[in-house]
């Protein structure tokens, strides 16, 4: 069976994560905690995984997380715009509370996860369009990496789509899984069955200060 193993990883923390602001396609950098998380992730995986390749969103919060992993493991890093977060159009930079106050009808569509609703403004993606983009991107990556182990460094929305695909859940099913910054999420892809879950939300490295570069 032609399998591809995938480590799907969300970028490290940003100031906008902490503030609850919608980042989307805006290029928000890692904060100090995010850089620490990326370092611990990189050192942990360097000690236990043999990666064939790393693919990352081109946005700096993901790219810098992936670069730390590439530096630690020696695996080649390639950027792919298809791994970007969902574009939130005019709502990028706002909190959900601000959207609710300014555009309550749109906020209700968002809260209900209406599949074909798209945020207003340039580039705003519906869940259906976003899901298709993610699916096409991942299918292209696994086709290039049969019987290999790859890491995908991306964003919370992308990971949500991947979890739903692997767990055979719909776009409007309630989320009961975590999307933690730099958590390691393990997936398996096969031509026959598509994506399947192996493990989710491993954050053991975040509690291990011995993985900090200054102490290793």
Count the domains in the chain: 1
Task: Kindly name the residue from 13, 25, 43, 85 that is annotated as catalytic.
Answer: 85
pTM for the model stands at 0.95
Does the pLDDT at position 216 exceed 60? no
Range of the structural domain that residue 45 is part of = 4-215
H or E segment to which residue 199 belongs = strand 194-202
pLDDT given at position 2? 87
**184-190 and 4-10 beta bridge pairing:** antiparallel
Mean of the pLDDT values across residues 32-61? 97
Question: Over the Cα atoms of the chain, what is R_g?
Answer: 17
At 98, phi and psi to the nearest 5? -65, -40
pLDDT range class, residue 213, cuts 50, 70, 90:
low
Long-range contacts of 108-117 (CB under 8 A, 24+ apart): 112/172, 113/171, 113/172, 114/172, 115/171, 115/172
- The reply to whether 11 belongs to the active site is yes
Mean of the pLDDT values across residues 114-130? 97
Looking at residue 166, which CATH number applies to its domain? 3.40.50.1240
82-116 confidence digits (pLDDT tens): 999 999 999 999 999 999 999 999 999 999 999 99
């Amino acid at each position: 069976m032609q399998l591809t193993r995938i480590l799907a990883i969300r970028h490290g923390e940003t100031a906008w994560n902490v503030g609850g602001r919608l980042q989307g396609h805006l290029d928000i950098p890692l904060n100090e905690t995010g850089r620490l998380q990326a370092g611990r992730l990189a050192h942990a995986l360097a000690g236990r995984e043999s990666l064939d390749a790393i693919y990352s969103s081109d946005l700096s919060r993901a790219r810098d997380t992936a670069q730390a992993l590439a530096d630690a493991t020696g695996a080649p890093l390639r950027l792919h715009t298809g791994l970007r977060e969902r574009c939130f159009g005019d709502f990028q930079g706002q909190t959900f509370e601000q959207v609710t106050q300014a555009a309550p009808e749109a906020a209700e569509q968002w809260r209900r996860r209406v599949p074909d609703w798209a945020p207003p403004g340039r580039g705003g993606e519906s869940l259906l369009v976003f899901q298709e983009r993610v699916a096409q991107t991942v299918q292209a990556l696994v086709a290039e990496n049969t019987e290999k182990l790859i890491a995908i460094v991306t964003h919370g929305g992308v990971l949500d789509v991947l979890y739903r695909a692997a767990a055979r859940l719909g776009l409007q099913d309630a989320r009961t899984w975590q999307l933690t910054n730099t958590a390691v999420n393990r997936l398996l892809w096969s031509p026959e069955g598509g994506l399947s879950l192996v493990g989710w939300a491993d954050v053991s490295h975040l509690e291990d200060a011995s993985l900090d570069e200054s102490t290793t």
